[in-house]
Structures are given as structure tokens and as C-alpha cells.
Structure 1
Amino acid sequence: MISSDDFGSFFLGGFECSSHKRADGRRLDLLRTTFHDALATQDYQQLRQCGISAARDGFRWHLIESTPGQYDWSSVLPALDAARANGIRVIWDLCHYGYPDHVDIWSQDFIDSFCRFSREAARLVRERTGRSGIYCPINEISYWAWAGGDMAQINPCVTGRGAELKHQLVRAGAASAKAIREVDPGAKFLTAEPVIHVAPGGPEPEAEWAAENYRISQYEAVDFLIGRNEPQLGGHDGCLDIIGLNFYPANQWYLGGSTIPMGHHDYRPLSRMLVETYERYRRPILITETGAEGSAAAPWLHYVCAEVEDALAEGVPVLGICLYPILDYPGWENDRMCEVGLFGAPGPGGVRKVHERLLAEIRRHDHLAPAAQKMVAYA
């Protein structure tokens, strides 16, 4: 059973844990560059001080299995222990775009290696925390397939193979869920997929069809994971306990054109997108990522919270909202400090500056927690 009580707070903090390679061959490690890997205790303490008792965090597979078949857990043990000590319930990402150099993502070895790694990671979580884990085995399959398989922006940095990469990631994710349940039958799984809206660029019927076809494609990865389509990929119902949705200001656009501005008649309310998703899958929903930069951060959260409140009023079981990233971070492409988080760079003693306007917005919506707790859990 899953309910909002599993997280202890309606708001979650998401620690950016991308560890992929860029097109120029440089590997990113956002847990390191934000200093969260060294400051997990202080970061979790600051979450609790702000009334947040749940988080998204990640295992860095490329560090843990730098040698095939050998696991060094030293990079994740501090976060595991700090979360337990501070009463933080963590959703663990096991593959957030990154994988070891010795693994060929196009091969069966990628699936087999990820299953072995997932099984041992789940065993560690169970032993170290004393409770079943909550996992996002592979983060943003849809985005990864596009960025890595069609646009050559992140590993494996190719074009024209997006559908093939999506299939491979689904195979790995579905097999990972089975492997985890072998050592932790009570484990729960969620997705973290972009929720989008695409409008036609013109009035022609062909444009309307193309935009709607693109919009509906947002469900493809989850449909694969649960075996609704392409069952040969190994998808099954056990892959999905919570629908995780990532929603940012750029998630609505005209097909082949610009972003749709909020307030425009073509802009679709988030609440309608949540209702549609819930009616499709009948699982509880978690906003797994949302946020905006600088002065837009608080107004954006205000909008998201209002839309979530509307969805709750329509009977959609939204379990919470994860502020992602919770830390300001250096940009993927240019290392520019992106001021998107509740917390800034660490100061003396590892204490981070709190962005007070964003914190005030969080506290302004504390009333959402009781509304979410009334929702019936999905078994």
C-alpha cells in the first residue's frame, strides 16, 4: 500500500544526481559538484528544519561498479546513514542517465549488469535502513531516449536510435524491478517521466494530428513498463506503484516552435494533465520534479500547488510535490550556477543559505498534506 504517510511530508526535496557523459566525453556528477555527497547529513538536517521529511536521492552506478561485478558502496553509505539518522524517507534513483564505462548500453550485458546492481543495491538499502525501499530504477526514460538516442546530447550520444534506446531502457527497468523484489518483496516503484502538452503550430488537420500524436507519446514509456504495449519488452504491473511526473515551465510548446506561455489559451492547466494521467493508470501520482529559476521559483511553485489542489478536489490522489533540484547547481553545459533550489551553495560548516521566498511558499501550502492523506492508497 502507498499513501502520503509513506513520505511524512507533502513536499519532498530532490537532490540532482545526474551522472551521465556529455557529447564531449566529460562525465557529470551532480552529487559531487553540489557537495551533497560530502554534506548529506547537513542537507538532510536542513530539510527537516524546513518541515520536509522525504527526498529523492541517487546511487552512482559508475562509481559503485567501476570494476565489473565488484561493488564499492562507499559513495552512497553516508547518504543512507544520514537519511536514517534524520528520519528522511528516500526515493532512490538507481540509474540517473549514468552507467559504468565497461557496460555497453546496447547489449544484453547492460540489462544483466543493471539487474545484478539493482538487486545488491536493494539488499543494501534493506539491511542498512531496516525497511523496504522505494525506487525509480531508471530516471526519465522518455527524455533519455530523446536526448541520448536522437539528439546526441548525452550518452550514448547518437542520433536516429531514440526508439531503440527507449526499448532498451524499458527492458532494463522492468528486469530491475523483478530483481529488486527478489531481495525486497515489499519494495515500491515509481516512474519519473515528463508530463507535457504539445499544441499544433497551425490550423491544418495534419498539424493537429502531428501535435496530438507527439503529446500522446508521453505515455509510451510507462505503457511499455506495465506491459500494456510491446509486452515482449518484459513490462509488468509490478513495475509501477506510483506515477511520477516531472513538470517544468518548458513542458508545453508548439510542435516545432516555441514554448507556450502560461496564461495563453493554448496553455493546458496542470490539473487537467494530472486528471488525464490518473484516469489512464489509476495509480497515485507524485510530482517527482518541478521548479523554476531565480525570481520565478516561488510564483511557479504557487501555480503548481494551486493546480495540485484542484486535482485533489477532483479525486486525483496526488501524494506530494518534489522540489527538484532542491540545491542550486552548476549547469550541465556551462557550469553556470542555476539558482533553482530551496538551498544555495554551502557556507561555513556546510550550512546552506535558504531561499526564504520559496520556503514561505512551501509553508503557505501546508494545508495540502491533510487533503492528500484522505486519498485512498493504491494496493
Structure 2
Amino acid sequence: MSGTPWYRDGRLRYGVGIEDTFIPQERIGHRKLDEYELTQHYARWSDDLELVAESGAEFLRWGIPWYLVEPAPGEFDWAWVDRVAAKMQDLGLRCIVDLMHYGTPLWLENSFLNADYPERVAAYARAVAERYRDVWSDFTPLNEPVVNAEWCGQNGAWPPYLVGDDGFVKVTTQLARGMVRTQQEIADVHPDAVFVHVDAGFRYEGETTPVPRDFLEERRFVALDLITGRLESDSVLGRWLAAHGVSSDELQWFRDNAVTPDVIGINYYPRFTTVRIEDGVMTPERSDAAGLRDLVELYSARYGGPLAITESSLVGTPDEKLEWLRDSAQELGSLRSEGHDIVAFTWFPFFTLVDWLYRYDQKQPDEWFREFGLVDLVRGADQGLERVPNRSFQAFRELALRGR
């Protein structure tokens, strides 16, 4: 790579992300969930990207809808993505490409359980890297593997609809294999590629947990430990994986094929990242910048740096958003002065999203709007969703431009 990589120049960059959850599979009581469709990003993508640039953001976390781009195995339709990529290039926006955000194509039977999943997702990622080699250099192989495993493997909410620890382990190991193979395939065709691995930063409070709390605090690292080859058979996680069918040979495969993230992304939401568990009941608990500090210190001690805050925001009034912008910026400044290698902060999502619970009823999308963003969505008489920046938009812009 020519010159100093962006994540090694000592700066803290500000960016935003566009919510890109794609769960296209439908069944009785479970309707399709495509955030780009629900927020009209497919139609308004150009205006959205111009707003991103206007916000002062230096980078954008943005995802490709795999299920639409590869409608049949090995057959690609790049027309829409080509236009988006060209616009990003014109605007000078660095895109951290979110390759996998929870959902698989409809043709992949049993979703993540399909024996071919790791190779299929890697082949798709290689195709993206080859086509856009002159436009994009930053990639997230898979967003939030632990959340993915919870919804798809533990809670039975998304395909392949598994439940319990056994389901969690089965999905996790497949996701991790896909992450490794994705990084290997991209690096093969794009040697200068930067890999930003992103996971949710779980925090736990309470003592009467259904399983020991110290185990939960280890489990949140399982995917990153697997792909980086640091998970040993005799560790707490190694013994747990073995109890659910993961062989020593499989763990050895991860050690033999270990990949190294260039940047590790931590997702932290002050209104629900921290969960209180009492008598087996999990309840989101409000936290503050101290929770952000806690996670940065944990990840920094375990993996080193560079680190990025790849998602953070809250549903609240503009004043509450302004307060979180101020508090998080101050805490990150303190952490950086103490030697923690934090290279980016991402307000995610940039605009209103539709709550994932939309999938399970027949209410209109508007009834599930959650105003996380710097930009609100307001439906007009023509049913179009207008983009209306709120007061936190300008405050973010000032922070972002100050850091340049």
C-alpha cells in the first residue's frame, strides 16, 4: 500500500452509516425486512450520499444487498451498485463496504447452515473486490457476528431459525469460516485492501444470570477469537464449542487460517448495549460514556488497536443526541490521550430506521420508525420519505470538520 494507511495517521475520523439489514426470506408471520426498501434508499440513494457528504463525514459504512446483486448462483447484476460506487467516488467519500449484514440470498438453502455458505459468501466478496478495486479498498466481511448468531441461531427469529446454544454454535462457526474465507479471497485480488471487522459490544449487569456471567463476558468475543486463531481447545470457549460439536480439527483450521483485522470495530449504543440480567430476564439498561470507555478498554487489552467505534447513536430528542455527541467525543478524546488507538467514530444509522420488529406484524413501516439519525424521515402526501436534517446534523458536521 502506498503511503500511510488512513488508520495509521494518528487522526480520529468521523463517519456515518446507512442501516442495511437485509432479511429477504418470508414465511407466515415473518415478512421481508429490507431497510433500503423501507427507507426508500434504493430510490433516493443519490440525495442520501450528497447529504452524507454535506454532514462532513469522511467515510460511510454502507452495505451491498447480496440477495439482489447475486440473484442466482454465480450470476451478478451490478447496475445499481455501479451507480452508487461512481457517486461515492465523485463525492470523495471513503466507503467501508458492509458485505454481509445478516441475510443470505433466497437460493441458498438453509441460509448459513448450507455447507457451501463459506465459499459462496467468499466468492461474492471476491467478485465485489475485483469489480470495484479502483473505487473501494475498505471492507467489513460480516457485521456483528454475535448478534447474527443470536437472531439466526439462538432465538429462531431469522433463517435458518435455530434455537439454543447448539444453534448459536452452529451458526457462529459457519459465519466465522465465511469471514476468514472472505478476507482471504479479497486479499488475493486486492492486496491493499483494509479489513474492518465489526462486532456488537455487549455489556452485562446483574448476577442472577441463566449461565455464569463470566461465560457471557467471554462469549461476546467468540467470533473474533475464532477468526484470529486465538481460541484454544482448553479455554472456556473452546470447551463450550466442543460440547456443541466443534471438533479439535475445526479449531485447528481457524488457527491455521487465522486472519488479522486492520481495524476492529466496536458497536456501542448508550440506550441498549448494556443489558441487565435478573432471574433470567434480560432488560436493556441505559448507560453513558463510561460504558463506551469500558468496551474500548476491554477490546484494547484483548486485541490491541487500531479500534473504531463503528456504530453509535440513540433514539431521542435532538438535545439528547447533541449531548451524546459531546459526551462520546470527550470520552474518546480522553481515551486517545491515554494511548488507546481509536481511529474513527461512526454515527449509525445516519437517518431513521425501521425497527426489526416490523418483520413480525402487519403495521405500516411508519409505525416502526425509530429516529436514531442525524436526519429524520418525513412522509409526504406523495408517500415519499423526505430527508430532514435535525439539529444534531450541524453539531456532527462541526465535529467532523474540526477533526480534518
Task: Describe the superposition over 1:302-341 as per-residue Cα deviations: whole angstroms up to 9, x where unpaired.
Answer: 3322221221111111111111110112222233111111
Contact 1:272 1:311 in 2 (8 A): no
Please name the residue that 1:159 is paired with: 163
Please name the residue that 1:251 is paired with: 273
Superposed, 1:204-223 pairs within 5 Å as 210-223=212-225
Please name the residue that 1:121 is paired with: 128
The SS at the match of 1:47 is helix
Seq. identity, %: 22
Where in structure 2 are there 5+ consecutive unaligned residues? 232-250, 359-364
Please name the residue that 2:115 is paired with: 108
Superposed, 1:206-285 pairs within 5 Å as 210-229=212-231, 230-233=251-254, 236-248=257-269, 249-255=271-277, 256=280, 257-262=282-287, 269-285=291-307
Contact 2:145 2:172 in 1 (8 A): yes
The code of the aligned residue for 2:191 comes to P
Please give the alpha-carbon distance, in whole angstroms, between the structure 1 residues aligned to 2:91 and 2:12. 14
Contact 1:192 1:288 in 2 (8 A): yes
* Stretch of structure 1 that moved more, 208-217 or 62-71: 208-217
Task: Describe the superposition over 1:109-128 as per-residue Cα deviations: whole angstroms up to 9, x where unpaired.
Answer: 1112111111101111114x
The SS at the match of 2:388 is strand
Please name the residue that 1:62 is paired with: 67
TM-score (norm 1): 0.86
- Give the counterpart of 2:200 among 194, 204, 207: 194
The SS at the match of 1:138 is coil
Please give the alpha-carbon distance, in whole angstroms, between the structure 1 residues aligned to 2:309 and 2:300. 12
The answer to whether residue 331 in structure 2 is matched with residue 299 in structure 1 is no
Please name the residue that 2:13 is paired with: 10
Distance change >3 Å, CA 350–CA 151, structure 1 → 2: closer
Contact 2:263 2:307 in 1 (8 A): yes
Distance change >3 Å, CA 41–CA 250, structure 1 → 2: same
Contact 2:56 2:401 in 1 (8 A): no
**CA root-mean-square deviation:** 2.7
The SS at the match of 2:149 is helix
- Give the counterpart of 2:334 among 285, 294, 310: 310
Where in structure 1 are there 5+ consecutive unaligned residues? 371-379
Contact 1:289 1:323 in 2 (8 A): yes
The SS at the match of 2:119 is helix
- After superposing on structure 2, the runs of 4+ consecutive aligned residues of structure 1 that deviate more than 4 Å are 4-9, 234-237, 346-351, 364-367
TM-score (norm 2): 0.81
Please give the alpha-carbon distance, in whole angstroms, between the structure 2 residues aligned to 1:190 and 1:78. 24
Please give the alpha-carbon distance, in whole angstroms, between the structure 1 residues aligned to 2:299 and 2:38. 35
